Amino acid sequence: MRFKPFVEKYRPKNFKQVKGQGLAIGKLDRFMKTWPAKKACILHGPPGTGKTTLAYTLAYFLDREIFELNASDFRTKDKLNEVLRPALKQESLFKKNKIILIDEVDGIVADRGGLSELIYLIESSHFPVIITANDIWGSNFAALRKISELIPLGELDYRVIFSILEEICKLEGISVDRETLIAVAIKSKGDVRAAINDLQSLCSHNVSVLSERDKMESIFNVLRSVFKSPKPENVLDIFDKLDMPLDEVFLWIEENIPYEYQGKERVEELYKAVNALSMADVYRGRVRRQNYWRFFVYQSLLLSAGINIAKKKIYSSFTTYKRPTRVLKIWMSNQKNKHKKSVIIKYAKHSHMSKKKTAKEFFLLPYIINPDISHKLRLTEDEEKFLNELTEAHLPMIREKT
């Protein structure tokens, strides 16, 4: 049976299942009934309040296809045109109507041309457009607000979140005491998605407190569990037992995927594992760009359960896992170029040239810099040695040409 995160497994299928957002549902219903008076609506509010869920629930309720575009992945005018324009104009192959969902529109705020092009495309859309954003009140969004119906979603009360968690526990047939569920609901601060993810993590621990951690594991044991564990549920919390940043874990998994999935018969498994790794990298990038730390949950899920379910069957053969070499290669490259960079910086400052221009003319520096200039630049012994070695390496080539 394919593993599914609780947030996907228990995503509402109708508006009765959406709790705590009655006003937003009413406004969304009116928007659809009066469309195209306003071509788009903006569902805006804090993370985890159900913005994307409302859009999918609406599409499911109306039996419409939903075309989702994450704005942060298509930042330029050309990319938006290439992907969004056909979706806004062409009818679905499978259904008569569809809904266009533009998620995380905050992601294109700082990109030149992207937002104005989005507004232009929305105004010519043949289908309703639903936009989601955490914060819509920046000055850059003024024109977008003008053409859109604004639908705010507030943080959910902890009692509403508690009832959602309680219902999931009943459906899953798991027993979690009331005090723990209340603690999870309060800890989420109105973010129902975070609360559900915490509940799933809690259930995988099979304990009644959030802060409990098992003994630390070595990275090699963790890799073995991720790649070879028979059930994805077994590895959901695997990184909690590891004293290592998730970014570093990413490099270990990236390095060892080719060693785990070897041979022609495992090409499909390799593809699935690399695809999960790629999606984890997407969420890692969004964490860095948007400072939205909740995406760490998805990054962790993809690196653990996402990689785990790539295999078709359980393989008992032993695999020798290796340390990541990417960081080492970057370090070696930096070591190789560090003397060159430091000489460029010092000479550029001394000669009032830009570092870019100095770098282009760097091949001349070994012949220009004499002991007197070297003293003025305050070159270190290693930097002088580096320049001397360059001169000795280039002289035979110059003599041949002359």
Among the listed residues 212, 172, 179, the one whose alpha carbon sits nearest the alpha carbon of residue 196: 172
Identity of the residue numbered 13: K
| Predicted local distance difference test score (pLDDT) of residue 93 | 61
**What is the pLDDT confidence band of residue 386, given thresholds at 50, 70 and 90?**
confident
**Tens digits of per-residue pLDDT, 22-41?**
899 999 999 999 998 999 99
8 Å CB contact between 233 and 200: no
Please answer whether residues 71 and 141 qualify as being in contact, where contact means their C-beta atoms are separated by less than 8 angstroms. no
The CATH code belonging to domain 21-152 is 3.40.50.300
Confidence of residue 393 (pLDDT cuts 50, 70, 90): low
pTM of the model: 0.52
Measured CA to CA, the distance from residue 300 to residue 269 in angstroms comes to 19
- pLDDT at residue 54 is higher than 50: yes
Token code pair at residue 326: 């990417």
Residue 118 tokens read as: 């989005």
Mean pLDDT over residues 157-165, rounded? Answer: 91
Answer for the pair 345, 355: CB distance below 8 angstroms, yes or no. yes
Asked if the model's pLDDT at residue 215 lies above 80, the reply is no
What totals of helices (H) and strands (E) does the chain contain, helices first? 19, 5
User: What is the pLDDT confidence band of residue 204, given thresholds at 50, 70 and 90?
Assistant: low
